[in-house]
């Protein structure tokens, strides 16, 4: 038997391994949830009788297709694309699209599986799904990206709809890509169906605060974790991995709440600025000029650049991994503990390895798992859908306040559930059980479907 799993759950995990060979990220995500569900089956044995866990582990639908497109020189390329519509018990499938060379079915399934419970935690009526392609937008012209997106949507459109499946952005997919995808959807379907995509531009159905939502939400959750410890972000030193959308706005909100952010990164290296990161400069480099983060040190003499450096070795009180999965391992976790870190919150999806999470738990560090801590993005996507449905547009302040309320609710529910099931302060347990019970009860109500 694999250590850490209830004996009733071991056969379920083995079945997942057997049915999904080679999909290591998906295996990791499933195991992380199963490890916390033993007490749930004791309290609610009907969930086991109806095989709700097995149903949650098997997507309702998996779509794989080729995407042929031509570059600016007329050369043909063929990429592979995916949409995994995982669970619609609470609402239409909802989850982002990722464009990155590492994308394969196992990553999309891991992300979609996480999305089921993350979306449930928001309290919004949205199911779980995810999609993407192994297409790499880096170094491609706008015209090439447009042609790829149009080719992809020519197949994908038939599976989407505001009551069916609602994609959004993720790594490699921002407002530019969403625009091209939505434009082709509109052209093919002859419908201006705003609610079929989220992350849209403000001029064409987007929501204020959506761009900021994941990063802001992660920091709201972090501050709530500190509050129950009679503490706050004010005066804390913070490091944030990544320098994309989530990382930038996590840094912004952390600074607003009084933290000093001293480091961020990209896939090539780390910048450390002892005077505090100049966020306007980071935005100019990454959002406007689309350059590598090492350009920062050309403008700031107080900063140093660590090529292939390790951001987790920079001393801090607060660590926010906001880049990609499994970026923070056991060695990194030990370095954070040694250097006095007191709270870690995942802005990315599953950025901490299981070993890292165990080390944080053993050291008494407050740890916010991604399905709770980074749920602000999809929560605000649901708010965007709400505005689209009512043909309305809210102010930034109203939307941000709704986001804050949702993140406070998620924190409270996770905290109280963890306490109820004998794991006080364990947000992994609290998030998994809260999300699973909400989805499981809905599935029970709808019968064997």
Tens digits of per-residue pLDDT, 70-124? 999 999 999 999 999 999 999 999 999 999 999 999 999 999 999 999 999 999 9
H runs (alpha helix) in 290-448: 296-299, 330-338, 354-362, 370-373, 376-389, 396-420, 427-446
The domain total for the chain is: 2
Q: Is residue 289 part of a domain?
A: yes
Residues 320-375 have pLDDT tens digits of: 999 999 999 999 999 999 999 999 999 999 999 999 999 999 999 999 999 999 99
3-state secondary structure of 118: helix
Write out the binding residues: 94, 115, 118, 169, 214, 245, 381
Q: Which of 8, 51, 73, 130 is catalytic?
A: 130
Mean pLDDT confidence for 235-241: 98
How many CB atoms within 10 Å of residue 250?
A: 33
247 and 342 inside one domain: yes
185 and 278 inside one domain: no
Q: What percent of the chain has pLDDT over 70?
A: 99
pLDDT band with cut points at 50, 70 and 90 for residue 3: very low
pLDDT band with cut points at 50, 70 and 90 for residue 233: very high
3-state secondary structure of 304: strand
Angle, helices 427-446/24-34, rounded to nearest 10 degrees: 90
124 and 96 inside one domain: yes
- What predicted TM-score, i.e. pTM, was given to this entire model? 0.94
Distance, in Å, from the CA atom of 326 to the CA atom of 171, rounded to the nearest integer, reads: 15
237 and 118 inside one domain: no
64 and 125 inside one domain: yes
Last residue of a domain, one of 162, 192, 222: 192
Do residues 80 and 148 lie in contact, with contact meaning Cβ atoms separated by under 8 Å? no
Last residue of a domain, one of 164, 192, 220: 192
Residues 178-206 have pLDDT tens digits of: 999 999 999 999 999 999 999 999 999 99
Q: Is residue 394 part of a domain?
A: no
Q: Is residue 423 part of a domain?
A: no
Write out the binding residues for NAD(+): 214, 245
364 and 216 inside one domain: yes
Tell me which residue range forms the domain holding 239.
212-368
Q: Is residue 401 part of a domain?
A: no
Do residues 411 and 221 lie in contact, with contact meaning Cβ atoms separated by under 8 Å? yes
278 and 163 inside one domain: no
Do residues 322 and 193 lie in contact, with contact meaning Cβ atoms separated by under 8 Å? no
pLDDT at 423 over 80: yes
pLDDT at 319 over 90: yes
332 and 238 inside one domain: yes
Write out the binding residues for substrate: 94, 115, 118, 169, 381
Question: What does the pLDDT read at residue 88?
Answer: 98
Q: Which residues are within 8 A (CB) of 4 and not within 5 positions of it... i.e. 6 or more apart?
A: 35
Q: Is residue 324 part of a domain?
A: yes
**Averaged confidence pLDDT in the chain:** 96
Pick the more confident residue, 2 or 324.
Answer: 324
pLDDT band with cut points at 50, 70 and 90 for residue 1: very low
Q: Is residue 297 part of a domain?
A: yes
Residues 127-157 have pLDDT tens digits of: 999 999 999 999 999 999 999 999 999 999 9
* 130 catalytic per annotation: yes
146 and 259 inside one domain: no
3-state secondary structure of 43: helix
Q: What is the CATH number of the domain that holds 333?
A: 3.40.50.720
- Residue 68, both tokens: 């042929």
Distance, in Å, from the CA atom of 400 to the CA atom of 50, rounded to the nearest integer, reads: 39
**Cα-based torsion angle of the residue sequence 15, 17, 20, 25 in order, rounded to the nearest 10 degrees:** 140
Distance, in Å, from the CA atom of 379 to the CA atom of 191, rounded to the nearest integer, reads: 25
Q: What is the CATH number of the domain that holds 147?
A: 3.40.50.10860
Q: Is residue 244 part of a domain?
A: yes
225 and 351 inside one domain: yes
Question: What does the pLDDT read at residue 4?
Answer: 76
Question: What does the pLDDT read at residue 14?
Answer: 97
Question: What does the pLDDT read at residue 258?
Answer: 98
Angle, helices 105-121/396-420, rounded to nearest 10 degrees: 90
Last residue of a domain, one of 333, 352, 368: 368
141 and 71 inside one domain: yes
216 and 340 inside one domain: yes
Mean pLDDT confidence for 44-67: 97
Q: Is residue 180 part of a domain?
A: yes
């Amino acid at each position: 038997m694999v250590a850490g799993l209830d004996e009733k759950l071991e056969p379920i995990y083995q079945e997942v391994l057997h049915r999904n060979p080679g999909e290591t990220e998906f295996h990791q995500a499933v195991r992380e949830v199963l490890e916390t569900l033993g007490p749930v089956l004791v309290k609610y044995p009907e969930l086991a009788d109806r095989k709700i866990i097995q149903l949650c582990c098997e997507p309702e639908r998996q779509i794989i297709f080729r995407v042929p497109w031509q570059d600016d020189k007329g050369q043909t390329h063929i990429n592979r694309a995916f949409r995994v519509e995982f669970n619609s018990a609470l609402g239409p499938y909802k989850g982002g699209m990722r464009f990155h060379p590492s994308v394969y079915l196992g990553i999309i399934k891991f992300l979609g599986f996480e999305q089921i419970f993350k979306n449930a935690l928001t309290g919004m009526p949205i199911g779980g799904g995810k999609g993407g392609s192994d297409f790499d937008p880096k170094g491609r012209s706008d015209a090439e990206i447009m042609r790829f997106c149009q080719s992809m949507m020519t197949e994908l459109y038939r599976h989407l709809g505001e009551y069916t499946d609602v994609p959004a952005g993720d790594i490699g997919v921002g407002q530019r890509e969403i625009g091209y995808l939505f434009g082709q959807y509109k052209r093919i379907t002859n419908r201006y169906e705003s609610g079929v995509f989220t992350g849209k531009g403000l001029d064409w159905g987007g929501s204020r605060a959506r761009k900021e939502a994941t990063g802001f939400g992660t920091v709201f959750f972090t501050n709530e974790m500190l509050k129950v410890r009679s503490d706050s972000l004010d005066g804390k030193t913070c490091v944030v991995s990544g320098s994309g959308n989530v990382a930038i706005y996590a840094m912004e909100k952390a600074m607003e709440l009084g933290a000093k952010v001293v480091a961020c990164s990209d896939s090539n290296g780390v910048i450390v600025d002892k005077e505090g990161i100049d966020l306007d400069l980071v935005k100019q480099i990454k959002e406007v000029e689309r350059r590598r983060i090492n350009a920062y040190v050309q403008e700031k003499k107080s900063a140093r650049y660590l090529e292939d450096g390790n951001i987790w070795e920079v001393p801090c009180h607060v660590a926010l991994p906001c880049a990609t999965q499994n970026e923070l391992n056991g060695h990194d976790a030990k370095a954070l503990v040694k250097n006095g870190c007191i709270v870690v919150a995942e802005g990315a999806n599953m950025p901490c390895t299981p070993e890292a999470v165990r080390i944080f738990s053993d050291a008494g560090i407050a740890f916010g798992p991604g399905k709770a801590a980074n749920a602000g993005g999809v929560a605000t996507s649901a708010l965007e859908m709400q505005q689209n449905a009512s043909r309305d547009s809210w102010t930034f302040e109203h939307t941000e306040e709704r986001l804050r309320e949702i993140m406070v609710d998620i924190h409270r529910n996770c905290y109280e559930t963890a306490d109820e099931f004998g794991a006080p302060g364990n947000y992994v347990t609290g998030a998994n059980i809260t999300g699973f019970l909400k989805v499981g009860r809905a599935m029970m109500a709808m019968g064997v479907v």
